[in-house]
Amino acid sequence: MSPIYLLTLRQLSGRWRLLVMTVLAAMPVLITVLVLRYADAPSVVDFENLVLSTMLAGSIAPLVVLAIAAAAFGNEVEDRTLANLTLAPMPRWKIVLPKLLAAITLAAPFIAASALLTSHVAFLADARATLAVTVAAVVGVAMYAAVFVWLGLVSTQAIGIGLLYVVLWEGFFSGYVAGVRLLSIRYHAIALMHGLDPRRFASDDHLGLAVAIAIAILVVGGFFLLSVRRLRRMDVP
Amino acid sequence: MSGAPEPVIRVDGVSRWFGSVVAVSEVSFDVRPGITGLLGPNGAGKTSLLRMMTGLAATSSGTVTVFGEPVRDNPPLYGRLGVMSEHETVYGFMKGRDFVRMMGRLRGVSALEDAVDRAIDLVDLAAAQHRRMDTYSRGMRQRMRLAATLVHDPELLVLDEPLNGADPRQRVHFKRLLQQLAADGKTIVLSSHILEEVEELADTVLLIVNGKLAASGGFRAIRAALNQRPYHVRVVCDAPRRLAAAALGLPSVDAVHVDPDGAILVLSRNVLDLQIELPRLAQAGGIRLRRVEPLDDSLESVFGYLVER
């Protein structure tokens, strides 16, 4: 296994970071249980909008991934150990890929567990709906991770910029401005969920499963290549 | 065909600026096998230059080639380089041996465990190799970082302020090791702001001042070049006009100016003689010197060293 992958896993699995991620990932499950216990059962559309789209895909997932992926390179830029890796005689993609995979490896279980438990509770153990939500959540993690790994390379303020992006772009504008939604990861993760279980989820995004998958590949691949390009051109501290 | 062999490093007309700040300005030199010292006060541009020489930073203009190839964005070349930066951060959670092993794996070392043993033995840290690095002293961290730099047996070593944090015993060990590596045919470039370190180790010295190559060559040549540089020296005494008039007759003094505040500004191209002649002159005239200070701040440390000698 790549030493960079193992190194990054170890660097990113600090106790506090894991604790915060656990708390964040537990929130959708907790809220779903509370809603079902104390309120009138919401419609599928309401539940999707409030919990799956706004909370899980638009807030919890990007925040958890931001905390991990932005640090994949960001920590090493900050403490100036990145040169240990960039002076290795290997193509730059062999440095970026294990970093990205490590970020996904760490973030995906939290978000996947959160999505799985939330949908399992909400949809009364409907296996297909649960699978659709979980797969979409993991794909969303991969897309966010690719973006935030790149962000950690281009800015030392990655966490701040990432928070603004999550709150303003994914949380606010993409919810109200139709054009912005097309450039929103949350929107494409939800479109994937619709495509995986059209029976359960009424879709109004007109994208379809194939387009959602293609866009996910484009986002992950595109930001991966941007990270490789950045690593080749940047001044390594 | 005869002639000098191709230099290991060729720096040709290199400049680097950050916004309006010029860190390195039109620097050119060659580095050949042996130990080359990059000497200059803090902030002179040594680290910027070393980073460009190792491909870690881009030049704003000019070129750097290593073993005849451009060093920037050239990963296959990096296997021939061993680079130790001035930053002392280590992966604290990692054991020393694991760190050296990881660096060896990243650099494609075959017979990895043997290479790790050899590198750790070279820096004399076998006894501490199974401890986490966050338990190491500063000097131990530096030595384990050097082991990681040496694990792939690089032909070229670039070391930025390598003696930082080392105690006297470690310094002696470190110097012997570098001299042994140079004797084995390695090319070593090391930077320091301490004249004495470079003088003891380096065959060739590159003196960097204010981002420019002020002098280069053997240490004696550098010393001679330094002595010929014009220095402004500010002198405060109890009889400025009398001392200024007398100082004009000294061979080491090129010009004298008396400031309105009573201080004397002396221009000299021979500070070694000046620091002997000026006190004698003052003593002979019964003048009390209150303060003698170089005004070329960027050269202060070098000047101070020369005066102390």
What was the pLDDT predicted at B307?
37
How far, in Å, CA of B145 to CA of B148, rounded?
Answer: 5
Residue A139: pLDDT band by 50, 70, 90 thresholds?
A: very high
Please state which of the ranges A47-51, A76-80, B15-19, B102-106 shows the lowest mean pLDDT: A47-51
Task: Give A55-99 pLDDT, tens digit per residue.
Answer: 898 899 999 999 999 999 999 999 999 999 999 999 999 999 999
A171 or A28, which is more confident:
A28
pLDDT-above-70 percentage for chain B: 92
**Considering only alpha carbons, which residue of chain B is nearest residue A92?**
B75
Q: Where in chain B is the domain with CATH 3.30.70.100?
A: 230-308
- Model confidence pLDDT, tens digit, residues B93-109: 999 999 999 999 999 99
Nearest to B207 by CA among B229, B188, B187, B185: B229
Instruction: Record the pTM.
Output: 0.83
Least confident segment among A51-60, A153-162, A199-208, A220-229: A199-208
Give me the pLDDT at residue B179, please: 93
Distance CA B147, CA A141 (A): 39
Identify the band that residue A13 occupies on the pLDDT scale cut at 50, 70 and 90: very high
B129-145: b or e for each residue (b if 16 or more CB lie within 10 Å)? Answer: beebbeebeebbbbbbb
Closest C-alpha among B209, B219, B204 to residue B29 = B204
Q: Which of A119-123, A178-182, B9-13, B232-236 has the lowest mean pLDDT?
A: A178-182
Fold of B9-226: Rossmann fold (3.40.50)
Edge-first strand listing for the sheet containing B61-66? B21-31, B9-18, B61-66, B69-70
Residue B297, pLDDT > 50, answer no
Query: Which residues in chain A have their CB less than 8 angstroms from residue B148's CB?
Result: 84
**Tokens read off for B149:** 């730099």
Instruction: Test A3 with B78 for CB contact under 8 angstroms.
Output: no
Arithmetic mean of pLDDT, A194-206: 77
Q: Is A198 part of the contact surface with chain B (CB cutoff 8 Å)?
A: no
A109 to chain B, minimum CA–CA distance in Å?
24
Task: Give per-residue pLDDT as tens, B130-183.
Answer: 999 999 998 899 999 999 999 999 999 999 988 887 888 888 888 999 999 999
Mutate to test the interface with A, among B47, B85, B106 (most CBs of A within 10 A): B106
Q: Give the 3-state DSSP-derived string for chain A, with helices as H, strands as E and coil as C.
A: CCHHHHHHHHHHCCHHHHHHHHHHHHHHHHHHHHHHHHCCCCCHHHHHHHHHHHHHHHHHHHHHHHHHHHHHHHHHHHHCCHHHHHCCCCCCHHHHHHHHHHHHHHHHHHHHHHHHHHHHHHCCCCHHHHHHHHHHHHHHHHHHHHHHHHHHHHCCCHHHHHHHHHHHHHHHHHHHCHHHHCCCHHHHHHHHHHHHCCCCCCCCCCCCHHHHHHHHHHHHHHHHHHHHHHHHHCCCC
β-strand B231-237 against B264-268: which pairing, if any? antiparallel
- Per the prediction, chain B carries an average pLDDT of 88
Q: Is the ipTM, as predicted for this complex, more than 0.90? A: no
**How far is it, in rounded angstroms, from Cα B57 to Cα B16?**
9
The CATH fold assigned to B230-308 is Alpha-Beta Plaits (3.30.70)
Contacts of B56 in chain A (CB under 8 A): 83, 86-87, 235-236
Domain span at A25: 3-233
Is the model's pLDDT at B304 over the cut of 60? no
What residues does CATH 3.40.50.300 cover in chain B? 9-226
Going by C-alpha positions, the residue among A151, A142, A132 that lies closest to residue A106 is: A142
- Chain A to chain B Cβ contacts (< 8 Å): 60
* Rounded Cα gap, residues A188 and A144, in angstroms: 11
Supply the mean pLDDT for chain A: 91
A89 to chain B, any CB pair closer than 8 A? The answer is yes
Measure the CA–CA gap between B28 and B149, rounded to whole angstroms: 26
- pLDDT, position B87: 86
Residue B83's nearest CA partner among B157, B152, B155 is: B157
Determine, for residues A88 and B75 on separate chains, whether the beta-carbon distance falls below 8 Å.
Answer: yes
Domain count, chain A: 1
